[in-house]
């Protein structure tokens, strides 16, 4: 009996050091941030010297027009880029899910943008959007068209950062979608083909439903990352013109570094954390329902086979 207990506990004993390190590395900074959000704290003070203000930082932020605008820009940016990236990435995967000569080369080319450092991506696109020497306006001028104020007009600046993000992160969606496609049970596809399903019907009724658990996880990862994007927008527009491209992470950085309001910046971070937690829980529950449905489809396909 004692030997059985030791064997049962052995895996947990091996995992314990890693779990302790992760708990300390994760929980201490989060607890520190939560505590700081209740203080009127600036960098010239130690945290113990800061004035306790309770929920004032949270209440003031809800009444702050700049914070509400940054939150709206963040939600709009995340919704647009993730939707377009999912459509383009999954579409490319469906198009290229076949035996194509040089497919390994194509995959390498597709993943290159996501391998580039975000700072470099921001600089690259900023130079391409340059009003006089940038490649886009030079091309427009050569065609006899008027140049576009890519980064100096609010609407165009927002569109510009969306294009840059789509260029960099669509390959992430493409690679995961292609992997999901290539792991689908061939028996289900063969059965649908024998039953007379067209390629389009196979995509709608077989491939996408079976891919859905992977797509949900991919969507969640991209949503979380889209809410935290900072470097590309910081380099390209620094949140301008005005507040047109100032997402929440950039507002947090500015509040802490420029305005020196560490307590308020911590409260903003907690709002962002709460938003991401709610999003993660919602996506997790939806993913469990989708996985159950996909399991039923696989079981039905196996039974038909």
Provide DSSP, 184-223. Answer: S-HHHHHHHHHTT--HHHHIIIIIHHHHHHHHHHHHHHHH
User: Is 192 a domain residue?
Assistant: yes
Predicted pLDDT at 4: 61
Classified as helix, coil or strand, 39 is strand
Tokens at residue 258, please? 């420029």
Is 116 within a domain?
yes
| Domain tally, the chain | 1
Beta bridge pairs of residue 52: 39
pLDDT of residue 295: 73
Residue 3 lies inside a defined structural domain of this protein: no
* Residue 49 covered by a domain: no
* Owning domain of residue 115: 65-304
pLDDT of residue 294: 66
Q: What is the CATH number of the domain that holds 251?
A: 1.10.3720.10
- From first to last of its 305 residues, the chain has per-residue pLDDT tens of 466 666 677 777 888 888 888 878 888 888 889 999 999 988 888 888 889 998 999 999 999 999 999 999 999 999 999 999 999 999 989 888 777 777 777 777 888 888 888 999 999 999 999 998 899 999 999 999 999 999 999 999 999 999 999 999 999 999 999 888 888 887 777 877 887 878 888 888 888 888 888 888 899 889 989 998 889 999 999 998 988 999 999 999 999 988 889 999 999 999 999 998 998 888 888 878 877 776 776 676 555 54
Q: Is residue 38 part of a domain?
A: no
The answer to whether 38 and 57 have CB atoms below 8 angstroms apart is yes
Write down the residue that tokens 């063969």 correspond to. 190
Q: Please report whether residue 58 resides in a domain.
A: no
Supply φ then ψ for residue 64, to 5 degrees: -90, 115
The 10 Å Cβ neighbour count of residue 224 is 15
pLDDT of residue 304: 52
**Which pLDDT score, from 0 to 100, does residue 188 have?**
76
Sign of CA dihedral 264, 157, 108, 104: positive
Closest CA to 293 of 205, 170, 219: 205
Q: Answer yes or no: is 5 within a domain.
A: no
Give the pTM: 0.86
């Amino acid at each position: 009996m004692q030997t059985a207990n030791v064997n049962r506990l052995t895996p947990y004993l091996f995992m314990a050091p890693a779990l302790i390190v992760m708990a300390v590395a994760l929980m201490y900074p989060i607890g520190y941030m939560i505590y700081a959000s209740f203080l009127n704290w600036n960098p010239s003070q130690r945290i113990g010297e800061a004035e306790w203000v309770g929920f004032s930082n949270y209440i003031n932020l809800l009444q702050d027009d700049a914070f509400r605008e940054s939150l709206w820009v963040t939600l709009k940016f995340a919704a647009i880029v993730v939707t377009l990236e999912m459509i383009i990435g999954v579409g490319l995967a469906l198009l290229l899910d076949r035996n194509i000569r040089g497919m390994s080369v194509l995959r390498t080319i597709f993943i290159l943008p996501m391998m580039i450092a975000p700072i470099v991506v921001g600089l690259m696109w900023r130079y391409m959007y340059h009003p006089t020497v940038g490649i886009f306006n030079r091309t427009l001028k050569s065609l006899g068209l008027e140049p576009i104020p890519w980064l100096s007009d609010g609407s165009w600046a927002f569109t510009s950062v969306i294009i840059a993000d789509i260029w960099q992160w669509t390959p992430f969606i493409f690679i995961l979608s292609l992997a999901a496609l290539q792991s689908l049970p061939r028996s289900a596809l063969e059965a649908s083909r024998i039953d007379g399903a067209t390629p389009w019907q196979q995509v709608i009724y077989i491939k996408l439903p079976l891919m859905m658990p992977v797509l949900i996880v991919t969507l969640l990862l991209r949503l979380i990352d889209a809410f935290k994007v900072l470097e590309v927008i910081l380099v390209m527009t620094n949140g301008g013109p005005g507040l047109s491209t100032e997402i929440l992470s950039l507002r947090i950085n500015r509040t802490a570094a420029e305005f020196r309001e560490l307590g308020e910046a911590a409260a903003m971070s907690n709002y962002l954390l709460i938003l991401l937690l709610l999003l993660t829980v919602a996506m997790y529950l939806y993913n469990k329902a989708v996985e159950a449905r996909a399991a039923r489809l696989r079981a039905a396909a196996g039974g038909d086979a």
